[in-house]
Amino acid sequence: MTTPGPDEGIVVVFTGKGKGKTTAALGIVLRAVGHGHRVGMIQFIKGEWFYGELTSSKRLEPEFEMIVAGKGFVGIIDDDHPIEDHRMAAQKAISIAKERLLSGNYDIIILDEINYALSMNLIFLKDVIDIINSRPKKTTLVLTGNHAAKEVLELADLVTEMKEIKHPFGRGIKAKKGIDY
């Protein structure tokens, strides 16, 4: 970890069991686009269900770009796809992340659920560390997902762990439209 200069980006990690990791990253998007900053968000694990930010992200274009890493994206929960499909999709997201980051065209790149993809061994630690270390100095990198690797935490400038106090899911209440997806 090096000390970032005032105009330089930082490495941010949102991890932990509690809800709010992806939501926090989307909060950064809203704030950054207000300054005309360019933000790209790459999904490492996404279900086949519809989620609101797929549509609302279009309203923040062209500054914001939601980058869907191809058709290989499959649901983790209740999902009967072979693990190899998840692996291919996550690896494709890695190559897209590297390419976008190195383009230098972004002020912020968000790697959504990358921590989780790594903890499931869908991607390699070496690739994640490469991405962090090769980031253009001006670009902020946001990594979300529970079970962030300790090597990633060490490289980060800002780490927040979401702590679950209560979640309606615990009382059998299903995911809510506009709140959870």
Question: If binding is defined by CB under 5 A, does position 21 make contact with Mg ion?
Answer: yes
CB of 52 to ligand ATP, least distance (A): 10
CB atoms within 10 A of CB 44: 28
Question: If binding is defined by CB under 6 A, does position 124 make contact with ligand ATP?
Answer: no
User: Which residue, 4 or 146, is less far from ligand ATP as judged by CB?
Assistant: 146
Distance (Å, whole) CA 13 – CA 148? 8
CB of 131 to ligand ATP, least distance (A): 19
SS3 109: strand
19-58 residues in contact with ligand ATP (CB under 6 A) are: 19-23
User: Which residue, 17 or 138, is less far from ligand ATP as judged by CB?
Assistant: 17
User: Which residue, 77 or 133, is less far from ligand ATP as judged by CB?
Assistant: 77
Q: Give Cα 36 distance to the centre of its chain.
A: 20
SS3 102: helix
* Residues in Cβ contact with 7 at an 8 Å cutoff, skipping those fewer than 6 apart: 138
**Are 170 and 41 contacting, i.e. CB atoms less than 8 angstroms apart?**
no
Pairing of strands 140-144, 108-112: parallel
For ligand ATP, which stretch binds (CB under 6 A), given 27-35, 122-130, 149-157, 163-171? 163-171
Residues near ligand ATP (CB under 6 A) are 17-23, 113, 144, 146, 162, 164, 167, 169, 175, 180-181
